[in-house]
Amino acid sequence: MKRLLLLSIVASALWLLPALPAMAVGTAAGTSISNKASVSFVVDTTTVNQESNEVTLQVAEVLDVTLAWQDSSNILAKAEETGKVATFLLTNTGNGSEAFTLTVNNGLGGDQFDPTLSAVYLDANDNGEYDAGTDTLYSAGVNDPVLGSDGAISLFVINDIPAGVNDSDLGKTGLGAAATTGTGAPGTAFPGAGDGGVNAVIGATGAAANDDATLQISAVDVSVVKSQSVVDPYGGSEPMPAAVITYTIEVTASGSGTAKSVTVTDPVPASTTYVEGSLKLDGGSLTTAADGDDGEVTGGAVTARLGDLQDAARTVTFQVTID
């Protein structure tokens, strides 16, 4: 019974582990594999040992690749906005070094508009984030990324947004990568084209991969402005112990779109204590407890839920006392 329980726990733990990235295919390209056989036999009463000739081969290079969009959600944009960045990760899952040619396709179906390609950049400092002025502008055939086995690089596709788009419209940008040695049906060989002059063989991916990123029009801007005022125990405005600070947070949504589920979170500052009953939304009181109304003060932070906002403004206020 204990053994079954242990196996169940181990299986559950394995199920919770994150998915591992695709890894390179087996033995490195160019690796020599040598072998010879031996035979022994008896002549009269004498044992004779004899070896065969040695046979040697070199492991062929397998051409394989994966490409995956990295942004966690749709990339929000507005009409005529420029420089919207979509991030992809290119990984060489073959067993040798290979260069990859990149292509962008913004004419994909299933969306409401086509983004306008500005440029593609290679991650020069390997931090996974686009850094203007640091990352390298890509030019096909000039600086195709070269990756060793299991090597990976972040790629940044920069697009501009056309005019005439509507709120919530989607636009897709597709990035493709292909091994410069060749692509095609798995098993296709390119004699002498692999690392060290070995044959290159197309793997399961066809030596090419692609993925799409989605841009979404959000015709709404949300601004948040915070102010404070102080009343000290003597009626002045000195920030001294026992003085009360009133914080005012103004949230404004503008434009034709809707900002959904707007939530304000504000930590109670260190060296202060929240004033019970002071949390208000548009002048109406909210309770401290998480009891079903639109706010609470828990875990040392003030929370107020403003709901969906379209061309509207709401105000949150609360007070603290300086310890």
pLDDT tens string 15-43: 333 334 455 568 998 888 899 899 998 99
- Are residues 74 and 204 located together in one domain of the fold? yes
Query: What is the distance between the alpha carbons of residues 224 and 245, in angstroms, rounded to a whole number?
Result: 19
Contacts of 169 (CB under 8 A, 6+ apart): 111, 112, 113, 216, 217
Structural domain contains residue 151: yes
Phi, then psi, of 9 in degrees rounded to 5: -65, -45
Closest CA to 194 of 35, 21, 27: 27
Contacts of 271 (CB under 8 A, 6+ apart): 322, 323
- Are residues 212 and 247 located together in one domain of the fold? no
Report the number of distinct structural domains present in the chain: 2
Confidence check: pLDDT of 8 > 80: no
- Are residues 128 and 255 located together in one domain of the fold? no
Structural domain contains residue 13: no
Distances (CA, A) of 216 to 115, 148, 223: 10, 35, 20
Structural domain contains residue 48: no
- Are residues 88 and 232 located together in one domain of the fold? no
- Are residues 203 and 77 located together in one domain of the fold? yes
Q: What is the pLDDT of residue 22?
A: 53
Q: What is the pLDDT of residue 25?
A: 61
Structural domain contains residue 270: yes
Confidence check: pLDDT of 3 > 70: no
pLDDT tens string 249-275: 999 998 878 888 999 999 999 999 999
Strand partners, 174: 105, 212
Q: Is residue 280 very low, low, confident or very high in pLDDT (cuts 50, 70, 90)?
A: very high
pLDDT tens string 47-95: 989 998 888 888 899 999 999 999 999 999 999 999 999 999 999 999 9
Query: What is the distance between the alpha carbons of residues 151 and 194, in angstroms, rounded to a whole number?
Result: 17
Domain, as residue range, for 181: 61-217
Structural domain contains residue 275: yes
- Are residues 243 and 120 located together in one domain of the fold? no
Q: What is the pLDDT of residue 14?
A: 36
Residue recorded with tokens 């944009």: 77
Structural domain contains residue 269: yes
Q: What is the pLDDT of residue 32?
A: 87
- Are residues 104 and 227 located together in one domain of the fold? no
Structural domain contains residue 187: yes
Structural domain contains residue 72: yes
Among the ranges given (129-133, 178-182, 290-294), the one the predictor scored with the smallest mean pLDDT = 290-294
pLDDT tens string 181-226: 999 999 999 999 999 999 999 999 999 999 999 999 988 889 999 9
Name the average pLDDT for the chain: 91
Q: Out of 178, 195, 217, pick the residue that ends a domain.
A: 217
The CATH number for 226's domain is 2.60.40.1170
- Are residues 154 and 67 located together in one domain of the fold? yes
- Are residues 80 and 205 located together in one domain of the fold? yes
Would you state the torsion angle of the CA atoms of residues 19, 20, 23, 27, taken in this order, to the nearest 10 degrees?
A: -120
- Are residues 171 and 203 located together in one domain of the fold? yes
pLDDT tens string 223-244: 999 999 999 999 999 999 999 9
Q: Out of 191, 217, 243, pick the residue that ends a domain.
A: 217
Q: What is the pLDDT of residue 220?
A: 86
β-strands 221-231, 189-190 pairing: unpaired
Q: Out of 198, 217, 236, pick the residue that ends a domain.
A: 217
- Are residues 190 and 317 located together in one domain of the fold? no
- Are residues 74 and 178 located together in one domain of the fold? yes
Q: What is the pTM of this model?
A: 0.70
The CATH number for 196's domain is 2.60.40.10
